[in-house]
A and B are shown apart, each in its own frame.
Chain A
Amino acid sequence: MPELGRACLLLALGVCIYGIGASLYGVRRGRPDFALSGRRSVYALAGILTVAFAVLELAFLRSDFSFNTVADTSSVTTPTFYKAAAVWSSQEGSLLLWAWLLSLWSSLVLFLTRRRLREESAYATAILLGFAGFFDCLMIFYATPFATTNPAPAEGVGLDPLLRHPSMMIHPPMLYSGYTLCIVPLAFGMGALLARKVDAEWIRATRRFALAAWLFLGVGIMLGARWSYSELGWGGYWGWDAVENASLMPWLTGTAFLHSLMIQEKRGMLKVWNVSLVLATGTLAIMGTFLVRSGILSSIHAFGGATLGVPFVTLIGVLIAASIYLVYTRREMLASEHRLDSLLSRESIFLANNVVLVGLCFVIFWGTYFPLISEALTGHSASVGPPWFDRYTVPLALILVLLSGIGPVIAWRRATVANARRNFLAPLGCGLVVLAALLIAGISTGKPLAIAMFCCAAFVLGSVGQEYWRGARLRRASSGEAPPLALFALVRRNRRRYGGYIVHIGMAVLFVGVAASSSFQHASELSLSPGQSTKVGAYTVRYVRPTGTITSKEDAAHTGATMSLGAVLDVSKNGKHVATLTPSEGFYDSGEPAQGSVGHLIGGQAVSHVSMDGGITRDVWSAIAPDISTPRLLRVMSIANKTIPLVRPDEGMIALAVLVREYLKAPPPAQFHLIVSPLVLWIWIGGLIVIGGALIAAWPAPSAIRRRVRVGLRSPEDRRDRAPASPERGLARV
């Protein structure tokens, strides 16, 4: 079967090369049959890569260890769910996933635009196939998923226990979907520039792809943050790590693009800016993909050696050079048709929003790549830490939230000053009420930025709430519906606007969660013996008793730990019991006989299993690092290692049971990490609201509503009332 996989990769490369040639020939010589053939190459590519992916997936599910990738990342004892997902936990498998997803999205998009954008999509086809071909070459020449070993080893290394968590398994496909979807607008952007047609058609098509990319990327980032928080032993959701930042940057430029695109649509302005944003988003997505695999930056996720570095750097260089060239040579075509009518307009708010977002992206870019920059400039590599990032991103985030509250209140083109002033009163009032409440409650000591964020969020909620209120009232006035129905109908008829408002509410809620959980957190790291207790914030945490289990095949969490040691913690507040937490540390098999016949059973990666009580107002989070290197326990281990032969893992497990019993009988003090974080739940809730709002905004409006505008002129000179020449004109209704 690996031969089939290898053949697929070669066939895919052939199809890519042919498709590029056919598309380009078709568009340059006006041969639609060749252009169609080129488009079909993409469909064919999707088919081929699906087969290749299926071959690899089957190998994993069948535990076929002749495949090197399977042997490196899976094992017989790995639970099935993780076997299936282990496909993309290796370099080779993840490259295949990336290429496969790219081919699927490209096929979908090209199918949906098959009747429009002919020239642009022919160029876009060639570019998309170019990317697919690049990744295909990486797989053929550098890191093939279908390398085999003969004879096949009997057992694999197994999936890194750190990755055995459902969200860690969904996070890569989501993130890759986001990254690959970012390539689509890039391809269409370049295609539009090549065809010299950056116009309404292009805007309409690109918006959909850009929104999909933005959505998937956002979900991927959220899943990564959630996984980090609920699984890793450090209790945080964002560390300004290079790889986190790499995924955030294209998301930021994508957000900017979605906003500024509306300005181009309305006023024919910012064309250069928009194509630059779209090209930058795709390039940043490639850079993000590359960062994870190159080890050029020291970070937690320094995967792989530098083998893939050179091809990627070349690709990025080509992308940047091509982008600059295309934009420069088409600059006349991209000249603005109009200017900003007025500073007090929604367009200028969007412009400000773009500036802030790009500024944020620049800050993060600078900080992330600083080790390389400083090495190039000073010869010494240096890096900046989270405090530096926080210092610059927090004020920018504040401005962003503020802008998202100002926008809904201002009209397009030119707002009436008096009306705008009046409309600001209620939202401003909300912000001030919250400020007063916080000051009175005495919470505000020494945390001005968090307080500012709460007030800005209140401002946004007031502003958006006012919009919904007015809109629903309007609707009820004309249709007499009950309020819930009126709201529903309102949103249904103006999805982009009201869906967008929901996204802004979601972001405000999310930032409230971030501000509260970072500024008002109580954390404690200390050693406790059973019976001891400690105070964290307003909560008292008592170490009740230790726990210990051994499992030979699968533990309760289905992650394959051989031994688990933990604790039962009682959390109370003001004497009242609040929650019982059971953090534990899982020990895994290392497969290294040098650690001893029993030692190797627990000598592998240790993984902390966090236990937390999540609530509306706060999360109580706990992690434990039990101490198994006390003299008594070490003696038990060394006796076991000496007396139990390597080839008897069953007896080794019995020895572990003895170890666990000894631990429970006289438990040494264990290291605990305890955190009380307010309002963390609202980060995830905010994220869900954002997704919901985006889906509403993206959903196509019912066509009956879309097309009914009666066009007439009201100026005295021309009272010509056009008779409807097509059924598409009727009366406008909110």
Chain B
Amino acid sequence: MSPARKRTVRLVVALSAAVVLASALIYTSFSAASPTVTPSQLVREGVVGREYQLTGKVKAGSVRHEGQTLDFAVQDRAGEAAIPLSYTGQVPDPFKEGREVIVTVVKRDGRYVGQRDSLITKCPSKYKVTPSKGKTY
């Protein structure tokens, strides 16, 4: 085989390997991913036994510690629909009522259960878009 031919073969082999790996990657990402939903979406479309990433605000007045479990409800950012859930695991520092959270939940036995250590609280915005009173440029 001439050197040029060898090079072409190598290139084809390498590219095919890359395509195969990339396809494996892409395929598994779709199956390993959990859909991101808001409470109203979850209420509408939630399927029992499936994992979801629930995002929203912690509903005021819903937080209760029961031993190792933390019960709270996640509310739509701009709405009323709220999902109550029980969560065990690490609770990040910024967690409190009114804060935005992301938590992985599964519906089991009619209740929503937060997966262990999956609770993420959004850092209180460093760059918050606060309406400033007075003169803005």
The answer for the CA separation of A163 and B137 in the assembled complex, in Å, is: 28
A149: chain B residues at CB < 8 Å are 132-135
> What per-residue 1/0 map shows which CB atoms of A296-340 lie under 8 Å from chain B?
001111111101000000000000000000000000000000010
* B-contact 0/1 string along A160-200, CB 8 Å cutoff: 10110000000000000000000000000000000000000
Q: How far is the CA of A391 from the CA of B135 in the complex (A)?
A: 52
A380 within 8 Å of B (CB atoms): yes
B130 an interface residue at 8 Å Cβ cutoff?
A: yes
- Nearest CB of chain B from residue A225's CB, rounded to whole Å: 16
The answer for the CA separation of A608 and B128 in the assembled complex, in Å, is: 22
**In whole angstroms, how far apart are the Cα atoms of A319 and B127 in the complex?**
25
Tell me the minimal C-beta distance from A65 to chain B in angstroms.
11
For A606, the chain B residues whose CB sits under 8 A away are: 93, 96
Q: What chain A residues lie within 8 Å of B30 (beta carbons)?
A: 374, 378, 382
> What is the bound-complex CA distance between A371 and B133, given in angstroms?
35
> Residue A147 contacts which of B29, B90, B136 (CB distance < 8 angstroms)?
B136
Q: Which residue of the partner chain, among B18, B100, B137, contacts A302 with CB atoms under 8 Å?
A: B100
For A536, list chain B residues within 8 Å (CB): none
**A305 contacts which chain B residues (CB < 8 A)?**
129
Q: Mark B101-126, 1 if CB is under 8 A from A, else 0.
A: 01010000000000000001111111
Task: Please state if A605 and B135 are interface contacts (CB–CB under 8 Å).
Answer: no
CB of A467 within 8 Å of the partner chain:
no
A366 to B21, CA, bound (A): 13
What is the total number of residues of chain A having a CB less than 8 Å from a CB of chain B? 64
Contact A298 B127 (CB under 8 A): no
The interface residues of chain A lying within 8 Å CB-to-CB of B36 are 298, 371, 380-383
Structural contact, A384 and B32, CB atoms closer than 8 A: yes
A445 contacts the other chain (CB 8 A): no
Contact in complex: B120, A300 (CB < 8 Å): yes
Closest residue to A377 on the B side, CB-wise? Answer: B30
- Is B25 positioned at the interface, with any CB of A under 8 Å from its CB? yes
Would you call B94 an interface residue if the criterion is a C-beta within 8 Å of the partner chain's C-beta atoms? yes
B33 contacts the other chain (CB 8 A): yes
Q: Are B35 and A625 in contact (CB under 8 A)?
A: no
Flag whether B28 is at the interface (Cβ < 8 A): yes
Whether A111 sits at the interface, judged by CB under 8 Å, is no
A438 located at the interface, meaning its Cβ lies under 8 Å from any Cβ of chain B in the complex:
no
| A303 close to B127 (CB less than 8 A) | yes
- How far does the alpha carbon of A21 sit from the alpha carbon of B50 in the complex, in Å? 58
A160 close to B134 (CB less than 8 A): no
CB contact under 8 A between A362 and B90, given known A72-B130, A94-B127: no
Chain B contact residue count (CB 8 A cutoff): 47
B26 CB, min distance to chain A CBs, angstroms = 7
Tell me the complex Cα distance, A362–B32, Å: 17
The answer to whether A392 and B25 touch (CB under 8 A), given A293-B127, A300-B122, A374-B30, is yes
Distance (whole angstroms) from the CB of A645 to the closest CB of chain B? 25
CB-defined contacts of B130 to chain A, threshold 8 Å: 72
Q: Are B137 and A303 in contact (CB under 8 A)?
A: no
The complex places the Cα of A627 from the Cα of B67 at a distance, in Å, of 11
**What is the distance, in angstroms, from A244's C-beta to the closest C-beta of chain B?**
13
A160 and B93 contact, CB distance less than 8 A = no
Given that A150-B135, A385-B34 are contacting pairs, would A302 and B29 also be in contact in the complex, using a CB cutoff of 8 Å?
Answer: no
Which residues of B have CB within 8 Å of A673? 90
B16 to chain A: closest CB distance in Å?
Answer: 14
A528: CB under 8 A from chain B? no
Indicate if B49 sits at the interface (CB-CB under 8 A). no
Kindly state whether residue A232 has any CB partner on chain B within 8 Å.
yes
Residues of B within 8 A of A385 (CB): 32, 34, 104
CA A387 to CA B29, docked complex, whole Å = 11
Write the B60-100 contact mask toward A (1 if CB under 8 angstroms, else 0). Answer: 00000101100000000000000000000111111010001
* A699 at the binding interface (Cβ < 8 Å): no
- With contacts A300-B123, A371-B36, A382-B36 known, is A144 near B136, CB below 8 A? yes
A607 to B89, CA, bound (A): 18
Smallest Cβ distance from B48 to chain A, in angstroms? 18
Chain B residues contacting A234 (CB-CB under 8 Å) are: 90, 92
Once the chains bind, are B25 and A366 in contact (CB under 8 Å)? yes
Contact A148 B127 (CB under 8 A): no
**A234-B90, A298-B102 are known contacts. Are A303 and B53 too (CB-CB below 8 A)?**
no
A residues contacting B by CB (< 8 A) are 6, 68, 72-73, 89-91, 94, 140, 144, 146-150, 160, 162-163, 232-234, 292-293, 298-305, 307, 339, 355, 359, 362-363, 366-367, 370-371, 374, 378, 380-385, 387-388, 391-392, 525, 527, 605-608, 625, 627, 629, 671, 673
Excluding A149-B132, A149-B134, A298-B53, 6 further A-B contacts by CB distance (< 8 Å) are A303-B127, A355-B14, A384-B32, A385-B32, A391-B28, A608-B93
The residues of B with any CB-CB pair to A shorter than 8 Å are 7, 14, 18, 21-22, 25-26, 28-30, 32-36, 53, 55, 65, 67-68, 89-94, 96, 100, 102, 104, 120-130, 132-137
A-B contact pairs, 26 of them (CB 8 A): A68-B136, A90-B127, A91-B126, A91-B129, A144-B136, A144-B137, A149-B132, A150-B134, A160-B126, A162-B123, A234-B90, A234-B92, A300-B120, A303-B128, A366-B26, A378-B30, A381-B35, A381-B36, A382-B34, A383-B53, A388-B32, A388-B33, A525-B90, A607-B93, A608-B93, A673-B90
